Amino acid sequence: MKIISSLFGLMFLVMSCQDAIVKKPDNLIQEGKMIDIIYDLALIEGIKSQDYLAGQSIKSNEYVYKKYKVDSTQFAKSTQFYASDVPKYKEIYTEVGKRIDANKAKIDTLISKRAKQSILKKKESPKLMPIK
């Protein structure tokens, strides 16, 4: 009995350690488009987290699916396929992170320039004469 249960346990371990293969969907979203979709979803979720009222009016998934001409099933199956290949999935999210960081740097630069311009305008504005 111990031998049978040991063999069964060993067989179970061997079977469970094999990589699960997810079949490539017929309408797989290409990697570049997938990056664009995930990036847009991340931006919209960021907006929602910063401005509750604006976030309520944005139906992020519907908007993004329409923009990229995909449906929820196609997106879900493509996500599942890419997620089954962990290194590839990590590459996709690394690229999304790079885009977010690059755009954040651009925005920070614009904000800094705008703040400097605002300070300069205040210094240059003529002083008003007191009314007597």
DSSP 6-53: HHHHHHHHHHHHSPPPPPPPTTPPPHHHHHHHHHHHHHHHHHHHH-HH
pLDDT beyond 80 at 50: no
Per-residue pLDDT tens for 63-83? Answer: 899 999 999 999 999 999 999
pLDDT beyond 50 at 7: no
Q: Cβ of 95: how many Cβ atoms within 10 Å?
A: 17
User: pTM score, two decimals?
Assistant: 0.67
